[in-house]
């Protein structure tokens, strides 16, 4: 067999993009100035790629809670939850989240990725799962690890989903998986339609609320609250790494389901417990989600402003008050070029190519937050305007006769 390492080629693409100055990944910030600004290569940029929707990652109260918990309980418990790594603090967080989400039980995990991975423990080899085309990699991995079969339906396409469920009389499918607010497109799932199909065909419904927790719904409980459909969702997963501004995740659902996950989900059993700092930070952030609803209003108002302005500039963006603004690019190279134009103009965005988005697509993703001031929002829009002008000039030059 040929040397395993000899077939690895990604480094060549990385090198080529780096030489052209277009490599957009792993750009390390030297420091941060609050939630909305980062310093990279000595330049202060508007942070428009972090999902810190409510601006809580640098909130003094959240930081203080994390520091106090570290002083009291240490940096880590150095054991998995099941094997004596559990703290009363984890249980307090689970109780508070269960109350907040109005779910009987909650299991806290070290990341949102692991919360989603845990859903695999509900599945057996041979089960069939229907998943939206745009679901996050962690949900795809959950099904893959369980050796169940994931059948994808076109994004939010209820006709396709219904056809799938009908073709199997509903019997084959045990679970439908979707996201509340989609992470790569920024649009909402059609929860009323999906919930109705799940009910009619007797299929369980799992909802990943990573991006809608804290942002959608009157109390910030996410997309299910927004649609008034919380009872229709059987299992809800959340992450602390978006609106809560920290690290960690959770699965919320019926008592016996969560008890099962606690004893069968490998992403819970075989990894260390959430750090005291992260658990305490999530608790403090949750207090702010509940106590300061004006942050939800601000982020949605800011998102409407940015998406509206980008649509006016001619970008293929649908104006909305959802905090993810996904700007499609023609191809990967144009995506990297636009990313670089924005970077040079002082705005840090996220360039997304497969496998972060489906094959053949590329997107510049902007995450708008309550921490962005009007001036930050203006700088984001101005950077896109400059990027558009430069792209037009480049295209005109490329078509000029030599
Ligand atoms: N679900 C979705 C939809 C996500 O976008 C992400 C993170 N990008 C996750 C789950 C995983 O969350 P975490 O970063 O906490 O692991």
Burial of 152 (0-12, 13-18, 19+ CB in 10 A): middle
Ligand 1 pocket (Cβ < 6 Å) reads 111-113, 116, 136, 138, 179, 183, 208, 210-211, 239, 241, 249
CA distance 382 to 377: 9
- Average pLDDT for 14-21: 95
Handedness of CA 75, 79, 84, 87 (dihedral sign): positive
Lowest mean pLDDT of 4-13, 22-31, 153-162, 163-172, name the range. 163-172
Name the residue of 119, 136, 214 whose CB sits within 8 Å of the most ligand 1 atoms, as the mutation to test its pocket: 136
| Strands 149-153, 173-179: pairing kind | unpaired
- Is the per-residue pLDDT at 53 higher than 60? yes
Name the average pLDDT for the chain. Answer: 96
- Band of the pLDDT at 171, cuts 50, 70, 90? low
> How close is the Cα of 242 to the center of ligand 1, in Å?
8
Q: What is the ipTM of this complex?
A: 0.99
pLDDT at residue number 2? 85
pLDDT at residue number 402? 56
pTM: 0.95
Query: Smallest Cα–Cα separation from 252: which of 266, 234, 236, 264?
Result: 236
In Å, how far are 45, 228, 229, 300, 340 from 308, measured between CA atoms?
A: 22, 27, 29, 12, 22
Task: Tell me the per-residue pLDDT of 187-196, one tens digit each, with 9 for 90 and over.
Answer: 999 999 999 9
> How close is the Cα of 176 to the center of ligand 1, in Å?
18
> How close is the Cα of 92 to the center of ligand 1, in Å?
23
H helix count then E strand count, the chain:
14, 14
């Amino acid at each position: 067999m040929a040397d395993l390492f000899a077939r690895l080629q990604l480094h060549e693409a990385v090198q080529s993009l780096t030489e052209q100055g277009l490599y957009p990944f792993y750009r390390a910030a030297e420091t941060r100035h609050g939630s909305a600004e980062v310093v990279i290569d000595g330049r202060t940029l508007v942070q428009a790629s972090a999902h810190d929707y409510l601006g809580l990652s640098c909130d003094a109260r959240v930081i203080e809670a994390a520091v106090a918990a570290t002083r009291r309980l240490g940096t880590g418990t150095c054991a998995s939850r099941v094997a004596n790594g559990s703290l009363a603090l984890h249980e307090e967080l689970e109780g508070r989240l269960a109350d907040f989400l109005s779910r009987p039980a909650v299991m806290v995990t070290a990341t949102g990725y692991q919360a989603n991975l845990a859903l695999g423990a509900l599945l057996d080899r041979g089960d069939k799962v229907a998943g939206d085309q745009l679901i996050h990699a962690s949900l795809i991995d959950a099904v893959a690890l369980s050796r169940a079969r994931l059948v994808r339906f076109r994004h939010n396409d209820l006709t396709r989903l219904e056809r799938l469920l009908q073709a199997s009389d509903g019997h084959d499918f045990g679970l439908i998986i979707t996201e509340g607010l989609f992470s790569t497109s920024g649009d909402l799932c059609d929860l009323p339609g999906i919930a109705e199909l799940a009910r009619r065909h007797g299929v369980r419904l799992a909802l990943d609320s990573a991006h809608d927790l804290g942002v959608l719904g009157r109390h910030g409980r996410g997309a299910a609250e927004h649609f008034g459909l919380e009872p229709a969702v059987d299992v809800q997963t959340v992450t602390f790494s978006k609106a809560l501004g920290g690290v960690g995740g959770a699965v919320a659902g019926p008592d016996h389901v969560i008890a099962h996950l606690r004893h069968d989900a490998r992403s819970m059993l075989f990894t260390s417990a959430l750090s005291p700092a992260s658990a305490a930070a999530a608790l403090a952030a949750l207090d702010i989600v509940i106590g300061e609803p004006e942050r939800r209003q601000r982020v949605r108002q800011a998102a409407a402003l940015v998406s509206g302005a980008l649509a006016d500039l001619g970008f293929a963006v649908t104006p909305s008050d959802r905090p993810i603004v996904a700007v499609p690019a023609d191809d990967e190279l144009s995506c990297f070029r636009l990313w670089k134009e924005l970077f040079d103009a002082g705005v840090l965005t996220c360039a997304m190519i497969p496998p972060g988005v489906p094959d053949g697509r590329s997107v510049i993703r902007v995450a708008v937050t309550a921490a962005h001031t009007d001036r930050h929002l203006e700088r984001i829009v101005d950077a896109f305007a400059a990027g558009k002008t430069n792209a037009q000039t480049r295209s005109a030059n490329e078509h000029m006769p030599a």
